[in-house]
């Protein structure tokens, strides 16, 4: 249903571009510096909670902890917009941008109460292509001939890709355990945006634009390939290697309680099946005793941003 609405929105935009008059105000191209970013969302919530889980374990068990996972930081990006006049100050606006952020980290933990140590390397990457299709209305201000006030509204579409890689090692005496995870998930967010700004003509064909924008957009239903490789090694035995591969795994967000703690922590994981019970959690040597608040994982662009740019009028 969401993909159908996105396709309909894109076709309407194409129709308006083809049928729009080219007289009067000229078509213009704007390049803006946009401070908008992906909101914290489930991904960084899980990363923060995962770091807390290891710190809690160290506090309870008095082991040696080194390292942490780094939350993703989404900085400003550039945006390109095409404005096509329709009539009497009303225009069709088509814009797009691209962002990509990657963070990785390694956690090393040596147990104090057992001859055991763990190492967990995790890489998270999020990239997206936001596209906006909407209408704007501009009006020259009476007290300054070259100054325009404009407002706009429309649909905000973002095509998301989330990649997750993991390499986890556990050594418990002579026993060794290694879990490798390679996964990639895609989804789309269909939301809305509203903008208000001013535009000042510096010289013929060039204007400065300053505006504020609010976006309401959220993506869920992430799906994609998930590949896991598990290797277990015991002295005197051949290594046992097993695989779990899914062509269409789903991203889930939930809270879980581990066997060594009474506290709940957040999880943001791709799974081949719905984790309705602790046994469905990704393969991991230390189990889970409870799961609650299960839902689809989400990433969003619901944010408020300022933009400054240059408009070229052709």
* 249-302 pLDDT tens trace: 999 998 888 776 778 999 898 888 877 666 556 555 456 778 888 899 998 777
Average pLDDT for residues 35-62, to the nearest whole number?
A: 85
* Domain annotation covers residue 4: no
Structural domain for 70, as ranges = 31-313
* Domain annotation covers residue 72: yes
* Domain annotation covers residue 99: yes
Q: What is the pLDDT of residue 16?
A: 47
In the chain, how many domains are there? 1
Per the structure block, which two tokens stand in for 199? 């535009």
Q: Which residues contact 207 (CB under 8 A, 6 or more apart)?
A: 28, 199, 200, 201, 310, 311, 313
Let me know: does 167 contact 178? Beta carbons within 8 Å.
yes
* Domain annotation covers residue 8: no
For the chain, count helices (H), then strands (E): 2, 16
Let me know: does 32 contact 308? Beta carbons within 8 Å.
yes
Let me know: does 182 contact 155? Beta carbons within 8 Å.
no
Mean pLDDT of the chain: 86
Average pLDDT for residues 84-99, to the nearest whole number?
A: 92
* Domain annotation covers residue 26: no
* Domain annotation covers residue 25: no
* Domain annotation covers residue 7: no
Per the structure block, which two tokens stand in for 160? 């998301």
* Domain annotation covers residue 17: no
Per the structure block, which two tokens stand in for 211? 């505006």
């Amino acid at each position: 249903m969401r993909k159908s609405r996105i396709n309909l929105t894109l076709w309407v935009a194409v129709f308006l571009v083809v049928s729009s008059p080219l007289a009067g105000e000229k078509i213009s191209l704007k390049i803006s510096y946009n401070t908008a970013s992906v909101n914290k969302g489930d991904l960084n919530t899980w990363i923060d909670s995962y770091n807390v889980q290891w710190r809690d374990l160290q506090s309870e068990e008095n082991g040696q902890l080194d390292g942490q996972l780094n939350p993703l930081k989404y900085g400003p990006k550039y945006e390109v917009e095409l404005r096509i006049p329709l009539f009497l100050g009303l225009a069709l606006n088509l814009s797009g941008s691209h962002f990509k952020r990657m963070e990785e980290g390694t956690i090393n933990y040596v147990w104090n109460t057992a001859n055991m140590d763990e190492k967990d390397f995790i890489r998270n990457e999020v990239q997206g292509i936001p596209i906006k299709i909407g209408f704007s209305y501009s009006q020259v201000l009476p007290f300054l001939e070259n100054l325009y006030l404009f407002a706009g509204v429309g649909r905000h579409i973002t095509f998301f890709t989330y990649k997750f890689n993991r390499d986890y090692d556990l050594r418990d005496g002579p026993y060794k355990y290694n879990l490798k995870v390679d996964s990639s998930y895609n989804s789309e967010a269909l939301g809305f945006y509203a903008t208000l700004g001013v535009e000042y003509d510096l010289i013929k064909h060039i204007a400065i634009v300053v505006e504020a924008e609010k976006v309401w957009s959220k993506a869920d239903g992430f799906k994609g390939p998930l590949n896991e490789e598990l290797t277990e090694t015991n002295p005197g035995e051949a290594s046992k290697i097993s695989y779990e591969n899914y062509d269409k795994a789903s991203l889930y967000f939930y809270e879980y309680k581990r066997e060594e703690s009474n506290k709940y922590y957040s999880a943001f994981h791709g799974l081949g099946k719905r984790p309705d019970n602790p046994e469905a959690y990704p393969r991991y040597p230390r189990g889970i005793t409870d799961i609650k608040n299960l839902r689809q994982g989400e990433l969003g662009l619901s944010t408020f941003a300022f933009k400054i740019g240059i408009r070229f009028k052709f």
